[in-house]
Amino acid sequence: MSMPASPGRVPTAQPVVVRDTMAAMRTTGRRLLAWLLIVATAPLTGLTAVPASVSAAPACSIASTLRQGSSSAEVSCLEGRLLALGYTLVGPDTTFGASTTLAVKAYQHDHALVSDGIVGPITRAALGLVPPLPTPPPLVGAVPAKVIETRVIGTSVQGRDITAYRMGTPGGRVVLIIGVIHGDETKGGQITKLLRTMPTPKGIDLWLIDTINPDGMAAFQRQNAHAVDLNRNFSEGWSYIPKSTENRQYSGEAPADQPETVATEQFIRDIRPKVVIWYHQDANTITLNGTNKNIPKTYAGYVGLVPGNVPCSTRCTGTASTFANRTVSGATSFIVELPSSSKVTTDMIRRHAAAVLAVVTL
């Protein structure tokens, strides 16, 4: 994830918090020196103490969540980074104290992050302190990129086609990737489109669907044209959720009473996929559902997502992923929640596509 461009800011606007007099003198002196250097070398317009990019490989990294009271070498990594970026705190040392909390909050505030003083996955990514992600192994004996079948599996309420593209090895292990189910969460569709340009791993019968909700995408809304949340409309574990403008999770009046759901359920019954991935936004996590948890776990490692639960503000009933897990014996169907669209980079799309190809053979 690329860090947003930092707005110009005047270093003295940052809180100066210290624990003791010597530390105060050290940090104030360091701050003053940094300030003088900036004033001497930078034009007044566009003045900034923060580098435009922190994308270079970090000298150290943070793998765990850090908060006040944390004590580890990762804390000194964090504190060193914050000091280098012009934030004031006591350190660097291995203790995450009150001054570190304030410095983290100031950094988060400056970068439009939740200003809670806790260094979780999003803040450490913004700071450029994420451990390097492992690179998926190269594909051996892959089938060259080629769509070998294009199948319209059904049509939407408004008559738009729902199209599945087949690649790889017919008769091999069946894999289904769905880019979009909620029409305002569209980035997964870029992953399925990119996958159509990439070789398919040996022995994989790969099906790609960019969207099962083309009407929702056309209107840029979560639900289909009947205001039904398709991911509450599937027939396994369905329960009634009334229409509501607040939760936008109307289940429909009966299980699978929407044409998009009918088409997708029938397609899953027909092809019986062993691996199914559903893309959503923007909870920034991955669910460990299905038979082979190693598949979503490995995927999470390749893309830097932390496995977790997807928040459902009403009930997680009638979901597509559960339908696939219950309908196909031994299936591993799970959800990948990408970040919000402004944070999904081209590099991230590439990384997710590579992760798909790396895990479907596990």
Q: Which residues bind Zn ion (CB under 5 A)?
A: 182, 185, 280
Angle between helices 320-327 and 259-271 (to 10 degrees): 30
130 three-class SS: coil
Residue closer to Zn ion by CB (options 62, 336) is 336
Least Å from the CB of residue 229 to Zn ion: 9
Cβ atoms of 276 and 178 within 8 Å: the answer is yes
Q: How many CB atoms lie within 10 A of CB 136?
A: 18
- How distant, in Å, are the alpha carbons of 168, 187, 323 from that of 355? 16, 15, 23
Looking at the Cβ atoms of 105 and 280, the one nearer to Zn ion is 280
Q: From the CB of 337, what's the least distance to Zn ion, in Å?
A: 7
- Using the minimum distance from each CB to Zn ion, give the nearer residue, 166 or 280: 280
Q: How far is the CB of 279 from Zn ion (least distance, A)?
A: 8
Q: Which of 323, 278, 286, 283 is nearest to 306 (CA)?
A: 286
Nearer to Zn ion, 167 or 230 (CB): 230
> Which single residue is written with the structure tokens 């970068």?
111
Residue number with CB closer to Zn ion (20 or 220): 220
Task: Considering the complex, state which of residue 111 and residue 280 has its C-beta at the smaller distance from Zn ion.
Answer: 280
Q: In what order do the strands lie in the sheet with 173-180?
A: 147-155, 161-168, 204-211, 173-180, 275-281, 332-338, 285-286, 306-307
First to last CA, the chain: 27
- Reading the block at residue 9, the tokens are 């800011």
Would you state the structure tokens that stand for residue 52, as one six-digit string?
């435009």
CA distance linking residue 192 with residue 195, whole number of Å: 5
Burial of 20 (0-12, 13-18, 19+ CB in 10 A): exposed
Shortest spacing between CB 194 and Zn ion, in angstroms: 20
**What is the DSSP secondary structure assignment for residue 95, as one 8-state letter?**
B
Least separation in angstroms between CB 271 and Zn ion: 23
CB of 350 to Zn ion, least distance (A): 22
Minimum CB distance to Zn ion smaller for 107 or for 278: 278
**Min CB(231)–Zn ion separation in Å:** 6
Report the nearest approach of Zn ion to the CB of residue 185 (Å): 5
Closer of 197 and 309 to Zn ion (Cβ): 309
Residue number closest to Zn ion, CB atom: 280
